[in-house]
Chain A
Amino acid sequence: MTPAASEVENAAAAARVQPDEATAGEAEHARRLLTEMLRIRRLEERCADLYKQEKIRGFLHLYIGEEAVAVGVMQALEPEDAIVATYREHGHALVRGVSARTIMAEMYGKQEGCSGGRGGSMHLFDTATRFFGGNAIVAGGLPLAIGLALADRLQHRARVTACFFGDGAVAEGAFHETLNLAALWHLPVLFCCENNLYAMGTAIERAQAETDLALKAAAYRMPSWGIDGMDVEAVESAARRAAAAVRAGEGPHFLELRTYRFRAHSMFDPELYRDKREVDAWKQRDPISTYTVRLRERGVLDDARLATIEESVGREVDDAVAFAEAGTWESVETLTRYVYSEPAPDSGDAT
């Protein structure tokens, strides 16, 4: 074999390896998407149990069925980006990087929680991951999101603010005021409308004269797409495209992510407003089970790998519960803290 021939051989080998490596990377990423969805699902299933045990109180809104939306969109965001979410935000916080431990402790109301225990399930906050709540006023987060985006614009930072809200928010004036302002001012916001077809118990066709929500955003001259929110890869791909455009200074973009909530609106909801057959039909499109099947078909997931994923997710949830159980209650002596800023030790400026 001449040296030249050997080089050719090596180059060919490299060419053969490259697609394999890409495939391996893709496989790894696909399994990570599945893992992230499972983290949300298993954490929330445990939350439902803990709610029945009265460990978690107040309102608890589960995201089960909608996991592909948060997981898909988060793939498109960078650490410096900001996230504004709703009261159904456990999954968004978890995938963004808020620890399961501090999320669970927050739901317990323990001071080790990500909001010091003051917020609870609906008010998860974590400035370290730029997770800005956790907002229990429907559409309340939209104006906040454009404000964060305005601050980025005025400070010349190429960041994206991702704003999650539901189809119910679309009926609020805040939605329309905000979309108009965002488009008028060309602000770097990615609007993520999680259309699960119900505003609590009111079906979208009973609340909206125009049920094509992407069309409403288009009316504000904003690029908008309707996306299958049960398909994590479709969500990721759309989010990446939209986020890249937002980051590139092309103004706000809007994704209507069509999804479905498998569980009740909150733990108080007897679900009188929807047919069980409808719920069952949507469950056939479960983003986790359908994706599991797809990954098996692609040959990137087998029983052993799935078991490993489930095991690690289960451990994380157990650990989170143990952390929350071991957490401590804030003393009532500090009841009136966090109403006004406490003076910083050496500077007058708390921020």
Chain B
Amino acid sequence: MPGWFLRGLRRGVVTTRYPARPDASAAVLPTPPAFRPEALTRELADRLCLICPSWALTRSGDVLIFDAGACTACGRCREAAPEAVTASGEFELAVTDPAHLVKRIPLLGEDAS
């Protein structure tokens, strides 16, 4: 008899209770980055824009434009700048308008005013 059958009998229902209750596996999902504006300089932002393989990051003046829809959560920006970028932990990102996914992250400009 397959082991999963006995395991199922022992543990009971395996189906997730999401969305009524949070799912335990959500904690280990790859998620888009969250940025720390006070650690983001223009140079670092430019470097991250070049690293990003899916055109999710662009810089416009003193603002880093992050398109969470284009982000593939590959983690390259996090690896390149762990002091400025961490995982956001957000996976419930469905929207009715793609513009809601475009976020503007203020940068620490050299001439910060």
The answer to whether A and B interact is no
Q: Could you tell me which A residues sit within 8 Å of B by CB distance?
A: none
Partner-A contacts on B (CB < 8 A): none
